[in-house]
Amino acid sequence: MIEFKNVTKKYRNHLALDDFTLSLPKGKIIGVVGENGSGKSTTLKLISGLIRPSKGSVTIEGEDITRKVSSAKVSYLSELDVYYSFYTVGETIGYYASLYRDFNRSKAEEILDYMKLDRSKKVKDLSKGNRGRLKIAVNLSREVPVILMDEPFSGLDPMVRDSIVKGLLSFVDFQTQTIIITTHEIKEIEPILDLVILIKDGKVLQMEEVEEIRIHQNLSIVEWMKKEYE
């Protein structure tokens, strides 16, 4: 589905990824975890086509990732606020529906209802948590093979996070889609993850099936991370 082959990414003097090799399967919810600065966001940005590798290659369904390829195959939720503040919630949905052919307007409306978002409110008047919900609604409404979510639960209170995590299972077609999530809220998403990738200092430290960690190693993901980091 997605392959990194000997990828190195440098930002001036900073080495973000170092000889990074990884193969990600289709139809899974994949968590990318690690310390701050380990390379998690860089990994997602490479898949989204926002940046290019300094060395090596990144492919999706056998194609080298470019902005054109990624725009047709990847929906990317950035940790930054990127929406027009003067639009209402409803206008934001309409804007993205006009921007992407794969945008499912009826699904977006369903997610807005689930998120309890007021369509008439302007983005600038939303709380941080509600802006986060809107970002998730837009992100999940595109019918593309890959959905990327970079810290999607930042600013959301624990009760809301739990509700949204459960909602992810309802709004994704796992026959055709893969979700890749970076997050510090590991405990909340652990129940829905299929696969977890642990990154340290720009390298893949470990990739493991979550069921293997829970059942055969009898560890939570946080406990597993601590063990692998030792």
The whole-chain average pLDDT of the chain stands at 92
Give me the pLDDT at residue 164, please.
82
pLDDT in tens, 18-70: 999 999 999 999 999 999 889 999 999 999 999 999 999 999 999 999 989 99
In the predicted model, is pLDDT for residue 11 greater than 90? yes
Give me the pLDDT at residue 106, please.
96
Reported as a pLDDT band with limits 50, 70 and 90, residue 149 is: very high
CA distances from 173 to 46, 69, 168, 186 (A): 23, 20, 10, 22
- Angstrom distance (rounded) from CA 222 to CA 102: 36
For the chain, the structural domain boundaries read: 2-229
Q: What separation, in Å, do the N-terminal and C-terminal C-alpha atoms of the chain show?
A: 31
- Angstrom distance (rounded) from CA 152 to CA 202: 21
62: helix, strand or coil: coil
Reported as a pLDDT band with limits 50, 70 and 90, residue 79 is: confident
Give me the pLDDT at residue 141, please.
96
Q: What is the mean pLDDT of residues 136-161?
A: 89
pLDDT in tens, 194-224: 999 999 999 999 999 999 999 999 999 999 9
Reported as a pLDDT band with limits 50, 70 and 90, residue 183 is: confident
Task: Report yes or no: 225 and 190 within 8 Å, Cβ to Cβ.
Answer: no
Report which of 126, 120, 118, 153 is spatially closest to residue 139, judged by C-alpha positions. Answer: 153
Instruction: Out of 3.40.50.300, 1.10.8.870, 3.30.460.10, 3.40.50.1980, select the CATH number for domain 2-229.
Output: 3.40.50.300
In the predicted model, is pLDDT for residue 155 greater than 80? no
Strands (E), the chain: 2-11, 14-24, 29-34, 55-60, 63-64, 74-77, 146-150, 178-182, 195-200, 203-209
